Amino acid sequence: MNDGARNNKLIVLLADGLRADTARNYMGYAQALNEAGRAQWRSLDCELPSLSRPLYATLINGRTPLQHGIIGNVQAGVGAGPTLFDDLHAGGRRSAVAAYHWFYELLASEVYQPLRHREAALPARGVSAGRWYFEDEYPDSHLLADAEALRQAYAPDLLWIHPMGPDLAGHLRGGDSAAYAMSARKLDMLLAQLLPAWHAAGYDLLLTSDHGMHADKMHGGPLAVERQVPLVWLPSSTANLDITLPQSQLGLRAFVGQRLLNPARSSASWSPLPS
């Protein structure tokens, strides 16, 4: 690993269930940075089926649901195999995670138990600290406060943050509802509080989502409202603005490795550990 990579720090904010058009229409602070030339803003199609647990696994291991075999939300305790966290651990980088308990299950390959695993670390995978929530109603404001506490306490090279607000609002009210739009607005307001401090500490931010949301309060299929998710790059320095972003969710694992292990290579040429 070169010195440039060692100095890089990254936050991945995975806003569960956030549609690309909803992010564009209602996240005014993030759009202000975009208009000021301080962001890259695009969208991509999630893999299929457009369901949470399969796509969590895809995002961290770089394989399609059909390839890694997690094809539904009921496969509790099933692991995701080698992931981007393992890549970073092998390269001497440390991670911290504030996320829904399904991520714990994918990384630990065991069923999450709230009374045992609420703040479990996973040192074998380089996760120095974790805060794992287990109710969909857990507020995004609390989860981002958890994440910021981890950042301040552990100064990880990668901070992985996974709030549930848009997904919950979509399942309760639908993807075209005022409540769903408000979930994006609230997340944007939280970013306005936190991102300046993250940037000051040298962290770049990648904002994306696992899947979208239909007006019928569900997702899982190939329609654009269920598949198209935002991909927003918000670097701490404009010197890092014009980098190559992943072209699909399958490229996120390699992108994280490229940023934190060898930024001299492109994400297309960098290869993760064998799957």
Residue 48 lies in a domain: yes
Residue 245 lies in a domain: no
Which residues are CB-contacts of 17 (< 8 A; sequence separation ≥ 6)? Answer: 52, 164, 166, 167, 168, 169, 170, 171, 209, 210, 211, 212, 213, 219
How much is the pLDDT for 3? Answer: 62
Where residue 8 falls among pLDDT bands split at 50, 70, 90? very high
Task: Check whether the bond before 139 is cis (ω within 30° of 0).
Answer: no
| SS3 state at 228 | strand
Q: How do residues 94-147 score in pLDDT, each as one tens digit?
A: 999 999 999 999 999 999 999 999 999 999 999 999 999 999 999 999 999 999
Residue 85 lies in a domain: yes
Residue 236 lies in a domain: no
Q: Print the domain residue range for 128.
A: 3-231+254-260
How much is the pLDDT for 268? Answer: 42
Read off the pLDDT of each residue in 40-59 and give the average, rounded to a whole number. 98
Please say whether the beta carbons of 1 and 91 come within 8 A: yes
Residue 137 lies in a domain: yes
Please say whether the beta carbons of 147 and 205 come within 8 A: no
74, 15, 81, 272 alpha-carbon torsion, rounded to 10°: 160
Domain count across the chain: 1
- Residue type (1 letter), 119: E
Nearest partner of 122 among 140, 142, 104, 98, judged by Cα: 104
Q: Which runs of consecutive H residues, i.e. helices, occur in the chain? A: 3-7, 20-26, 28-35, 52-61, 65-68, 84-90, 101-108, 114-117, 140-154, 165-173, 178-200, 224-227, 252-260
> How remote is the C-alpha of 120 from its chain's centroid?
19
How much is the pLDDT for 2? Answer: 62
How much is the pLDDT for 50? Answer: 98
Residue 159 lies in a domain: yes
Write the CATH number for 87.
3.40.720.10
How much is the pLDDT for 270? Answer: 43
Which residues are CB-contacts of 42 (< 8 A; sequence separation ≥ 6)? Answer: 230, 231, 232, 245
pLDDT > 90 fraction of the chain, expressed in percent and rounded: 92
Partnered with residue 131 across adjacent β-strands are 98
Residue 148 lies in a domain: yes
pLDDT surpasses 70 at 90: yes
Residue 269 lies in a domain: no
Read off the pLDDT of each residue in 70-91 and give the average, rounded to a whole number. 97
Read off the pLDDT of each residue in 241-266 and give the average, rounded to a whole number. 90
Q: What is the pTM of this model?
A: 0.95
> Residue 62 and residue 56: Cα distance in Å, rounded?
10
Nearest partner of 176 among 137, 113, 218, 141, judged by Cα: 218
Which residues are CB-contacts of 195 (< 8 A; sequence separation ≥ 6)? Answer: 29, 205, 234
